[in-house]
């Protein structure tokens, strides 16, 4: 049913508010049926408290609420104020970084409902309490921390996620070990707030440069302008002086992949149907954490984990901890390999690439996939797990003969790509573009890259809940 947005001057506002109300009612009903309590914003985050929100049907309604609420705000806020507010959002990132580095969430962990005055929060780090209060007040205005009385703050559902769980005395004694043996999300937040906006600033400079604007090279991006380096982001990160940055990203990515790896790998492909002793090659697979759920569930498969020598050198410890018999039995093999050189494994059942393609421009993705195609057998399948970008307009013509490429449409008048509720792939796209000319891609763009490298796209599996970063793009040799 099409919503007539010209029926009255506030037709769009009413349609959006009706969507929000309807979804809130559905969430209330679902939680009531299950005897669950929806997580309260003023209580700390725990996996147990989040359980009601994480069920797929509740998440689907939450997606509608986020998309509609953001669109409603855009519709009612005066345009100059809306644009200026967006223009200075980098202050939120800077304040988040300050809160992480000053260990505010850890300090507030035992503050209780009455909270802690900023003079007490500032004391362990020996910083100016008046300035810290201003930082925390902006975050509280964005619902990160809560100001329960003037200059008195407490953790809430969002800010508690920034708590590593470590004692403040231990962190102060050894700051660089703050993220060791933690789930990794805070390390990822510290990394994300630690430089991306610096090179994002230079995006316009690169776009207006007659040569760099059209460049596909990983060392001709906004990152290179920001840090005045001829090295690609990967090469720059490998420098000795950037060891802590590498450590942060490694801990953060392992935590992120570990939390979602079971769903990422298992969903959307029938692994059980592969013949006994089928070989899965995890190309650029890091320490192999994404293969662990498969190795545990399907004992008829064999796995080769490929990455740089320094990375796979650390993989043995991971497998010896998580699945001690995997390497000794031959189920898992660790192999140093540069995916820009000829692929040593011939005719495997699967070449698997998870969050690899988005790091590179089409030129380099085609190089990677062409080398894999040269090593593929007639039955080899290619599985790419990555973001799929959707248009913010009604969908363009898509190849209907490829299962999975027609996406479900959200209710009107929401944006066809779910707007703010699905913003992460678009932010990731800018991170890739400014970082080293990488790219998140639409289905048609994947189809083009596949075809140019000798593969035929046969199927797409979209991740549940319209969160496209865990989607699978599956192909076979042309």
The catalytic site residues sit at 358
* Encoded tokens for 181: 């043996």
| Alpha carbons within 13 A on the beta-carbon side of 454 | 15
* Encoded tokens for 101: 């580095």
Q: Closest by alpha carbon to 446, among 356, 376, 378, 380?
A: 356
Length of the chain: 478
Q: Could you tell me if residue 126 is left (phi over 0), alpha (psi between -120 and 50 degrees) or otherwise beta?
A: left
> What is the spatial distance between Cα 73 and Cα 291, in angstroms, rounded to a whole number?
42
> What is the spatial distance between Cα 322 and Cα 326, in angstroms, rounded to a whole number?
9
**For the CA atoms of 74, 76, 79, 82, what is the dihedral angle to 10 degrees?**
-50
| Dihedral (CA of 91, 97, 100, 103) sign | negative
Which contacts (CB < 8 Å, 24+ apart) does range 49-52 have? 49/157
Three-class DSSP category at 14: helix
> What does each C-alpha distance from 8 to 11, 91, 415 come to in angstroms?
5, 38, 20
Residue 188 near residue 256, CB atoms below 8 Å:
yes
The two beta strands, 116-117 and 152-154, are antiparallel
> What is the spatial distance between Cα 274 and Cα 298, in angstroms, rounded to a whole number?
10
Instruction: For residue 329, count CB atoms less than 10 angstroms from its CB and return exposed for 0-12, middle for 13-18, buried for 19 or more.
Output: exposed
The distance from CA 311 to its chain's CA centroid, rounded to whole angstroms, is 21
Q: Which helix (H) or strand (E) holds 306?
A: strand 301-307
DSSP state of 357: G
């Amino acid at each position: 049913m099409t919503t007539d947005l010209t029926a009255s001057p506030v037709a769009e506002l009413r349609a959006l508010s009706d969507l929000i109300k309807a979804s809130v009612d559905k969430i209330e009903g679902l939680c009531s049926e299950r005897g669950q309590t929806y997580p309260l914003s003023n209580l700390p985050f725990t996996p147990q408290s989040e359980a009601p929100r994480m069920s797929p049907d509740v998440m689907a309604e939450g997606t509608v609420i986020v998309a509609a609420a953001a669109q409603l705000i855009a519709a009612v806020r005066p345009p100059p104020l809306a644009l200026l507010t967006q223009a200075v959002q980098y202050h939120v990132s800077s304040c988040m970084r300050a809160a992480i580095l000053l260990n505010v969430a850890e300090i507030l962990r035992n503050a209780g409902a009455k909270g802690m005055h900023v003079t007490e929060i500032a004391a362990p780090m020996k910083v100016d309490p008046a300035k810290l209060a201003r930082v925390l007040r902006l975050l509280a205005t964005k619902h990160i921390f809560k100001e329960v009385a003037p200059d008195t703050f407490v953790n809430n559902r969002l800010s508690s996620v920034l708590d590593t769980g470590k004692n403040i005395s231990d962190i102060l004694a050894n700051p660089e070990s703050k993220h060791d043996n933690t789930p990794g999300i805070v390390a990822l937040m510290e990394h994300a707030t630690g430089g991306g906006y610096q090179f994002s600033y230079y995006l316009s400079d690169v776009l207006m440069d007659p040569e760099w604007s059209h460049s596909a090279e990983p060392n001709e991006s906004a990152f290179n302008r920001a840090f005045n380096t001829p090295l690609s982001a990967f090469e720059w990160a490998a420098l000795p002086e950037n060891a802590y940055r590498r450590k942060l990203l490694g801990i953060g990515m392992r935590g992120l992949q570990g939390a979602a790896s079971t769903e990422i790998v298992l969903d959307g492909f029938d692994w059980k149907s592969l013949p006994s002793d089928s070989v899965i090659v995890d190309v650029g697979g890091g320490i192999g954490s994404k293969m662990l759920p498969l190795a545990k569930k399907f004992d008829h498969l064999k796995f080769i984990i490929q990455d740089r020598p320094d990375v796979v050198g650390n993989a043995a410890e991971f497998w010896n901890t998580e699945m001690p018999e995997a390497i000794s039995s031959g189920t898992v093999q660790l192999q140093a390999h540069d995916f820009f050189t000829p692929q040593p494994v011939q005719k495997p059942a699967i070449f698997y690439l998870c969050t690899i393609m988005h790091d590179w421009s089409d030129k380099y993705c085609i190089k990677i996939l062409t080398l894999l195609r040269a090593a593929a057998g007639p039955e080899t399948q290619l599985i790419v797990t990555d973001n799929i970008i959707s248009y913010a307009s009604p969908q363009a013509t898509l190849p209907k003969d490829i299962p999975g490429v027609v996406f479900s449409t959200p209710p009107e008048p929401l944006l066809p790509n779910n707007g703010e509720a699905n913003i992460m792939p678009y932010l990731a796209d800018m991170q890739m573009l400014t970082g080293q000319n990488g790219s998140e891609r639409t289905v048609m763009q994947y189809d083009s890259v596949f075809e140019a490298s000798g593969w035929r796209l046969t199927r797409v599996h979209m991740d549940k809940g319209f969160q496209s970063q865990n989607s699978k793009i599956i192909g076979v040799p042309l």
